[in-house]
Amino acid sequence: MDATKEEFLKEFGQDYGYPNGPKSIDELRATEFKRLQDLVYLDHAGATLYSDEQMELVFKDLTGNVYGNPHSQSDSSSATLEIVKEARQQVLDYCKASPKDYKCIFTSGATAALKLIGEAFPWSCKSHFMYTMENHNSVLGIREYALNQGAAATAVDIEEDMHPCVSGDTISIRISPHQVQRRKAAGLQDQKPTGDVYNLFAFPSECNFSGLRYSLDLVKIIKEDSRRILGGSSACKNGGQWIVLIDAAKGCATRPPDLSKYPADFVVISFYKMFGYPTGLGALIVQNDAAKLLKKSYFSGGTVAASIADIDFIKRREAIEDLFEDGTVSFLGIASIHHGFKILSSLTLSAISRHTMSLALYTRKKLLALRHGNGSRACMVYGSHKSRELCDEMGPIVSFNLKRPDGSWYGYREVEKLASLSGIQLRTGCFCNPGACAKYLGLSHVDLLSNTEAGHVCWDNHDIINGKPTGAVRVSFGYMSTYEDAKKFIDFVAGSFISPESHFGHTKQLKGFDHCSLSSGFSLQSITIYPIKSCGGFSSGSWPLSNNGLKYDREWILKSLSGEILTQKKVPQMCFISTYVDLSRGILFVESPHCKERLQIKLDSDVDIGGREDVGLYGQRYIVHSYDEDVNAWFSKAIGKPCALLRNSSSDHDLILNESKDAVTCRDAKSKLNFANEAQFLLVSEESVLDLNNRLSPYVQKSPCGEDMQVTPSRFRPNLVVSGGRPYDEDGWRSLRIGNHYFRSLGGCNRCQMINFSQKNGQVHKSNEPLATLASYRRAKGKILFGILLRYEPSDEGEQQCDSRLHVGQHVHPDPV
């Protein structure tokens, strides 16, 4: 055992692992999670993992028993109905809910359970929906039902104050409301409520952004002492009864709410977050009196005792579960949760909670201790982390952002990208929790609205806007997580983002490039054209230029029937489609190993047979021509899925690239493009490729096929390959001339996972290389750069119209920065 693990066990050994369980944590990982051998999985807040034993038991159960529809009366159906009843009781027992007071309604997930509450709650114009800022979007969505029915909605912050007294410290809870929201719709405020007024208060047992665990004392406080705690807020003016909802989708995995002590009215849970399988199944635990308040309009099979088709008559079932479970429940999934509960029970929830908390606390501690060489703090961790005594306030989640030595932020997408290359799976963004995200990141309403106007949406790559993070990095631990998982993650952060230099610097200088000394004597070694985006290209000794770059380069695309533009990232088989343009005959030839006939497409006809349409790509709209069914059938066979071939019909489409003054990552040009990602040309040098091959370390030099890994320039899909200088000389080129043609450098090309795909014997293989090696020395401002992007700049209008050509062997004359 190494010294670092001994140090960890000295501090956390009492909580780590399962010394009294059926297996130790190391045995558990070795026998039940063999698939994690080369992977660090740290997104248990998103979805935890099922064990081998669990799935073996599920498979044995499903193959050894006959489960019928529980709405039928056969023996198999009656047996299934009993299994469903037993599962309901297991769910209630898990939250210590008495079946006399509570019922379990199965849903398609926690979100469906929340939606059910919002739809069926007895809203009126006097009602109030109050919810903590730190809530999932699925809880916030209830607000739409409330506002549409004339109710008010208010977000609140919860603060706990500790006061010393003679008998010991006491904790008081303070609620600070934000502005009241009301929907300004005609007639809503003039409605008079009939009957009693009901209000809904919602909070998570554990915040899925920060890991903060809310005090369940909130249940009794809101239900029994709401007037005092809410003070003079508008939520109390109309009176009414408060109903309390706990979103336990995240918290249930390690600490389910004890409903015998904290009698909430509604609790929603999600099973795949607890034990990985089944997905698409959740539950609403509802207090009997609260269930009677819910008003349901729709009825379905299973929810009615009788109905008549041609008159307005239904008799609904009286049992709460029957009334709210539309259609046939997921009885096979419900039968499977027994085996998940068995796994948790064998380890015990208290041991799981202590184990996961020890890893989270260790990770927080190590992240907070990270310092750059100049002494500046490298990590901002969100949530409470003041002392060991406060650890019970936090669940097994650690959310954070990283800083450079000069105080600027690393983008969370950069962290996620590099983590993936290191075999670490984590989550980034706001985790569908906009309130917590805004709170911890200090984002105002103005910030949030301006970010949206700038194009930022969930799951995009806009991780830094106006110098501020738009989200965070989150790691979360599950019952099978190990010290080794946490240690590898900490080592990854330290090795990838901590600068040992004592001076301030915005970013590391790209290695291999010397600004002060550039070579001369460059020549053009190859010209490659890729007529169909993401398909194979062809090389030519001489090729004409056009306004859009190389003539016919990426002028065609493949589109799925659903409208998605296809690329090798999602359809790797596209790499086996080869292309060639015969200029003299005016024909595009296309071949595929999956098609017997070679396809011939005339360059000056064959279009408009299928009509014209417009498509969107990289924020731009293009007018395209489509082809007949025979052409589309050929490509569908070639890639193994239905698709259509489209051709750009215009050369006047512009793409505005991001502005930057940095020569390495400059995107300040307006380029006329076909379907290229960023620029008209991509240029790499043979010397840079050779240097990369030399840097590929011995333990990654083997390809997935078992051969020595050597990348060629074609791996990067360049249009132009040059030679004659030193590695990465091209980084310092501001512009260049090839023959009599001028090009402007738009900066380095940001590489992605595409370069990790290789092909051998008709198969596509993926590894972490060469991107992982490039990431170790070619990172700048969150990008992994290799090669440069170019824009063609004709010297005059006449040159644009003539058949200007590039020729292999021409001298390349760079103009350095």
Which of 752, 758, 751, 753 minimizes the C-alpha distance to 709?
758
Report, as residue numbers or ranges, the catalytic residues: 432
For the chain, the residue count is 817
Which of 455, 568, 524, 438 minimizes the C-alpha distance to 805?
524
Which of 543, 139, 600, 96 minimizes the C-alpha distance to 349?
96
Could you please report the per-residue DSSP string of 730-772?
Answer: GGGEEEEEETTEEEEEEEEEEP-GGGGEEEETTEEEE-STTHH
Are 118 and 202 in contact, with CB atoms under 8 Å apart?
Answer: no
Could you please report the per-residue DSSP string of 133-199?
Answer: SS--HHHHTHHHHHHHTT-EEEEEEEEEEEE--TT--EEEEEEEEEEEE----TTTTT----S--EE
User: What's the CA dihedral at 717, 720, 725, 729 to 10 degrees?
Assistant: -70
Q: Which residues contact 795 (CB under 8 A, 6 or more apart)?
A: 740, 742
Are 85 and 343 in contact, with CB atoms under 8 Å apart?
Answer: no
Q: Which residues contact 324 (CB under 8 A, 6 or more apart)?
A: 105, 116, 120, 284, 291, 294, 296, 303
DSSP-based three-state secondary structure for 76 = helix
CB atoms within 10 A of CB 178: 12
The C-alpha atoms of residue 326 and residue 750 are separated, in whole angstroms, by 49
Dihedrals phi, psi of 278, to nearest 5 degrees: -90, 160
The residue type at 209? F
Bridge partners, residue 736, by sequence:
743, 814
Dihedrals phi, psi of 685, to nearest 5 degrees: -110, 145
DSSP-based three-state secondary structure for 717 = coil
Own/partner contacts of 297-304, CB < 8 Å, gap of 24 or more, are 298/326, 300/326, 300/327, 301/71, 301/326, 301/327, 301/328, 302/71, 302/326, 302/327, 302/328, 302/329
* Residue carrying structure tokens 């080369």: 38
DSSP-assigned letter for residue 574: G
Which of 746, 747, 758, 751 minimizes the C-alpha distance to 773?
751
Which of 135, 114, 131 minimizes the C-alpha distance to 284?
114
